[in-house]
Every structure is written in structure tokens, then in C-alpha cells.
Amino acid sequence: MGKTLQVKVYTTPLTPEFSADGVLSRYPNFPDSVWNRSQYVLLPGFCDVHVHFREPGFSYKETIASGSAAAAAGGYTAVCAMPNLNPVPDSAEHLAEEEALIARSARIPVYPYGALTVGEKGAEKADLAGLAPRVIAFSDDGRGVQSESMMRALMQACRALGKVIAAHCEDNSLLRGGYVHDGDYARAHGHRGICSESEWGPIARDLRLAKETGCAYHVCHISCRESVELIRAAKREGVDVTCETGPHYLLLSDADLQEDGRFKMNPPIRSARDRDALIEGLLDGTIDMIATDHAPHSAEEKSRGLEKSAFGIVGLETAFPLLYTGLVRRGVLSMERLMELMVVNPRRRFGIESDGFSVWDLNERYEINPSEFLTMGRATPFAGTEVYGRCLATFCGGRQVYARGEAR
């Protein structure tokens, strides 16, 4: 690294040793070729606690190799993979298949979740004790635990094991075949809507149970203002709760929807009022972290329009540029706060060590082009969006795991 380079480093409370000298001393073979501009930014490795890498079972959508490559391209050096797989990791035997794939092909650390219930069906507890030493936390993501008595039993078990429950909060009885937010766009275009209560109702139940049991409780992908209000109140009462939201919920509203499957995800993009409440939650500390809910599907599965396309979009390669452009550059959020949301808080909550960093040119402006992604998925509502911030390289575990221009 030459003396003429001007490098800015963002530090965080989690990694006080993070400095240009301190970081680069751990990477003695740091290539001079990375530094092809006069000004650069080093950012600590991001951590996403909510991704879907689809393997084992659905490798036509994504693999551990392609998903972790996409994560590295987005500046991530740790991700947590959800358990809606085949086989579902509901036992040590089933988990072993995923662990073998991670060991063989992951480019960065990939931490598996264990399922809460057998087959994620909500009827019988998974082998929580057998899984606990080998998983980052427990979740039935993709499905909400419908039974209150089952959720209470799961919380009691996870409390005893010292593990976090990461809950997909969705009341099936309130879905009524919906697939977009039950708001203005749905009514104007004749679509069936998903009401906000289908999310905040289970959150209210679970917060009461978390207070009762003392379980460490994390709420996945919150999307509506009522969820923010409930979690804010629970934190004031001392409930051990954290939560996440996604870039798409912070930057879009249902007014931005188009008749295209790349705008379909679960929970759905909601109203501008909900979006504003989420941003307020970021600013006051109610929302602890930003996760992508990276959920790739095949092109065919996302080509069926809003009604019939599969739920889910990709996001690992676009998250930071979108948030930096849409929130930091506009003065909504400080860079330091964004680093708390993408680095510090997720690692602290889930006990993930800080490692690695990425090199960014924050002045480069470009349009998001899904054909350039390393993920196998292509569906994003942000295709064609102009952003600032290009990842030049990512380093993790003492080696370079991504270099700009890497071909898929």
C-alpha cells in the first residue's frame, strides 16, 4: 500500500482495532492492484443474518458457492442461512448435509440456522438440543409458528439452550390468498392484499411470550408501522427483542409496484406511511439491523407476474449501494449508523466474530444491472436504479474473496 493513497476507514465499537494499519497488517499480501483510484473507503465486513442459499434441495435457484460469492461481491464477510431446505435441518443428521456443502464451497463464513420444528411444519419440536451447538440460531423462516402453545414451548427450550429464536411472523388465517400489500395499489389494480395485521398480530403474541419466558427473540423482516410500535414498546419494558428490516422496505412503497414478479416478496412492500415508520425506527434504535432476505428463484418462477410468481428477491450485491445512495447521501442516516445496522448489531446479537473488510469507491455512479450479478437469481425491484458505491474487493479470513470484474 503506497504512501500516496488516501484511505478513509470507518470504525465501529465492535472492532476498535479497525484501522488502516491494523487491518492491512493482517493481510500482508494485500494486492496493490486493488488501489486503482486516488481515494478509497475501507468498510468492515458486513453481516447478513437472513439469507436463503437454497442448498441442499433447491440448487437450481442458488448454491452455497454462488450465494456466498454474491455476498462477498456485496462486501459481506458473514451470512446466516435460513433452514427452508430439503432436507430441513431439523436434526443433526439433516444439518450435516448443509454443513458439508458449506465446508466444501462457501467463500465466506456461512452460519446455518436450525429449524424450530420438524419439517418446519409447526407440529413437533425439532431436535433443538442436538442442533444447538452447531447452528447460529433457530427459525422456521418462510413459515410462521401458528400455535401459541408451541411457540411458548419453543421459547422455553431455546431459553434453556441460550439460543435466539428468529421468527417469521405471519398469521396464515389472515392471508386470504394475498400477494401484495393490502393498500392503494392492490385496490387500484384488482389484486388480493396481505393485511398488516398478519405480521403485527403474531409479533404482539410473541413479544408477550418472550417477556414471559425470557427467550432471546428476533423478529425477521418487519415491514409495517404497527410492528415498529410494538417492538419499541417491548424494548422499553425490557423484553429481550431485536428486529431487522430490508432495504426494499426502507426505499420503496406500494406506489412503486409494477406488474412484474420482481416486485413480489413476503412480507410485501407496504405503504409510504409504513416506510416512514421503519426509517424512524432505524433512527431511534427500535430497528437493530438491516438484512437482505436474499431469496433467489429461477427466471421462470419470477416471470409469472405479481399474482403467480414465487415470493422473494435477491439483495446481497445491491444492499450497501442502495442504502448508501438512498439514505446516507440524502442525509437521512449517517454512515456510522449504517455500519451499526450492517456490521455491529447483527454480529453482536448473534455472536459472530468480526473479520474482514471491503474496499469501495463511493464516488462511482452506475445503474444496477442484474445480468452482472454473481447470484443465480436476477429478480430485484431495483433493476435500472442509479446508485453510488462500487465494491472493488473484499477480504476475509486472511485472503481476498472477491475482486471487481469477477465473472459469474
Query: Hey, which residues are catalytic here?
Result: 293
Q: Where are the beta strands (DSSP E) in 185-240?
A: 193-194, 217-219
As a whole number of angstroms, the distance between CA 259 and CA 307 comes to: 9
As a whole number of angstroms, the distance between CA 146 and CA 169 comes to: 9
As a whole number of angstroms, the distance between CA 128 and CA 125 comes to: 7
Taking a C-beta distance cutoff of 8 angstroms, is the pair 394, 30 a contact?
no
As a whole number of angstroms, the distance between CA 221 and CA 157 comes to: 23
State how far the alpha carbon of 262 is from the alpha carbons of 193, 265, 307, 373, in Å.
Answer: 17, 8, 11, 15
DSSP 144: -
Place of cell 429481550: 240
The SS3 call for residue 234 is helix
> How crowded is residue 187: how many other Cβ atoms within 10 Å of its Cβ?
10
Of 302, 326, 297, 404, the C-alpha closest to 34 is 404
The cell numbers describing 372, all together, are 452482472
The cell numbers describing 365, all together, are 455512479
Residue 331 makes CB contacts below 8 A (sequence gap 6+) with none
